[in-house]
Amino acid sequence: MKCPNCGAEMADNTLYCEQCGEDIHIVPDFEPELEQNIQQTIIGIMEDLGQGTDEGREAQGWEHQQEWEEEDEDEEDEEEVRYPLRLRKKHPVWKALGVLFLIVLCVAGVIGVQIYQYNSLEYQVKAAMQNVKQEQYDKAIVCYNRAIELDETDIELRFSLAEVYLQKNNKVEYEYLLRDIARDPDATVEQLDRAYGKLIAIYRDRKDYQTIHELLLNSGNEQMISTYQNYIARPPEFSVNEGYYTSIQPLKLTAFGAGKIYYTLDGSTPDENSSQYTAPILLENGDYLVKAVFINEYGTVSEVEEKEYHIENDEILAPELSAGSGTYYSPTYIRVLSDTENVYYTTDGSDPTYASNVYTGQIPMPLGRSTYKFAQIVDGVTGTVAERNYELVISTDITPEQAVANAVAYSLSSGKIRDEAGHFDDTNAVYLYEYLYVVNISKEGDYYVIVEVLCTEDGTLTRTGSAYGVNVYTGELKKLFKDQRGSLVLEEIEEGAVSREGE
């Protein structure tokens, strides 16, 4: 097939020339029955008119040509006598012209019918539907395209044409028509929902979720975006506007839908290998460039959102602690990870003051429930308080009280004390044994720490320096020391010493 404008070769059923862009208007074929009826009509006219002419006689195979000519002459003479004022009978040439006129008239009628059909929307739609039933999809496509030319506002015609392309397994044209409908400002909500639904089904089957994301965002249609919002990955929202601040800013990042937020603070573009957002980002002091991205459950990546901040903070920050609030099931130390100078803490729920405990090093977490509050106090100004709530649970039958009893039993057996009350001479001074905490000693296990305290007659308490470790799970007693580095070291009790395990 050649383009009527430039003569370039074109593929069959193409609606425009790829060379010059000229639109091609294809006229549907004659109806076979109509063409046959026209041919039969013309033949009938030829036969009827041909019977009175020489040509007609020859067509019918008459054999006595001379007799016919004589009869014609006699008839002409008789006509001149009987009807002198009337025109003579037409000459055979005129008869032939009459036949030709009728043929032209019939052809004109056929062309008229064809033109009517070509310009009839109803006829084109019915013809297209009939061709679809007969699985003549190429003819159906021609009819639907002509129908769309006749009524470009009828969106349903485009839906019908798209379905024909789908039945032909031409998914490129099918997708193109659906996108055309989706962009049509005159499409109803129902039609848009159908178009987007079909398009999303195409891309979902391909697992091309990024295209779904872009299709919906580019649509500008809030109703469609709301309907299919789970496929969209919008950039994270920042709780703090970028700018200059004179105090700590806890920056919260949020995103709509199921997925994860990733962020960076070094200016690099975030991805799945970056820090995952799980808690507010504390903007404390200095300059920050925060970049964040949201990746939804389908792996669709949003655009990167970024903001800049400058923080000049005069506040005293809360100490950063190693152990967060919660329940623990093995001995744990509480450490201050930030600046440890001028850090005070309490265990009774009150806010720290100069009269509170001074933090000097790691603190063993006590058994059971406890509350710790830490704060830095500088020049009489108390900074932000860090509060933590703990619960330490050890699964064992050996209690701290039994560990103390084992230490007392050892002192009795070794002769250091005379009775369980701790008396060691004729005075009222006594040795007492107190449980301090539970710790994990490297390569040894979990131990209760028991210390020896001298209580004089006036009630003064002084630690003697002797300490014991009692295995949390067996009740075994060992002597406890600190080495030169300050680490706890266990030493076996001399053979023959008595211990009361499990009392």
Backbone angles phi, psi at 59, to 5 degrees: -65, -30
Q: Which amino acid would we find at residue 342?
A: N
Which residues, listed in sequence order, are joined to residue 328 by a DSSP beta bridge?
392
- For residues 42 and 420, what is the distance between their CA atoms, to the nearest angstrom? 138
Count how many Cα atoms sit within 13 Å of the Cα of residue 438 in the half-sphere of its side chain.
Answer: 25
- For residues 321 and 339, what is the distance between their CA atoms, to the nearest angstrom? 11
**CA-wise closest residue to 106 among 176, 44, 173:** 44
Give 13: exposed, middle or buried? Use CB within 10 Å, 0-12, 13-18, 19+: middle
**CA-wise closest residue to 347 among 320, 373, 322, 321:** 373
- Other beta carbons within 10 angstroms of residue 485's beta carbon come to 6
- For residues 391 and 371, what is the distance between their CA atoms, to the nearest angstrom? 9
Which helix (H) or strand (E) segment holds residue 434: the answer is: strand 430-441
- For residues 276 and 271, what is the distance between their CA atoms, to the nearest angstrom? 9
- For residues 449 and 69, what is the distance between their CA atoms, to the nearest angstrom? 149
pLDDT at res. 32: 54
pLDDT at res. 92: 66
Q: At what angle do helices 137-150 and 155-167 cross, to 10 degrees?
A: 170
- For residues 101 and 354, what is the distance between their CA atoms, to the nearest angstrom? 124
Q: Cα-Cα-Cα-Cα dihedral of 211, 214, 218, 223, to 10°?
A: 90
Backbone angles phi, psi at 439, to 5 degrees: -135, 165
Cα-to-chain-centroid distance, residue 57: 86
Contact at 8 Å (CB) between 452 and 466? yes
Phi-psi region of 277 (alpha: psi -120 to 50; beta: other; left: phi over 0): beta
Structure tokens at 141: 């496509």
pLDDT at res. 55: 47
Q: Which residue, chain included where needed, has tokens 């193109």?
A: 176
Which residues, listed in sequence order, are joined to residue 432 by a DSSP beta bridge?
453
Structure tokens at 230: 């789970």
Contact at 8 Å (CB) between 281 and 263? yes
- Other beta carbons within 10 angstroms of residue 10's beta carbon come to 19
Give 4: exposed, middle or buried? Use CB within 10 Å, 0-12, 13-18, 19+: exposed
**CA-wise closest residue to 317 among 331, 336, 333, 335:** 336
Mean pLDDT split into 10-residue runs, the chain, 503 residues: 66 61 51 55 55 46 48 53 46 70 73 73 85 88 87 86 87 86 84 85 83 79 77 88 88 88 94 92 89 90 93 84 95 93 95 94 95 92 92 95 95 92 91 95 92 94 94 94 87 62 37
Tell me the three state secondary structure of residue 103: helix
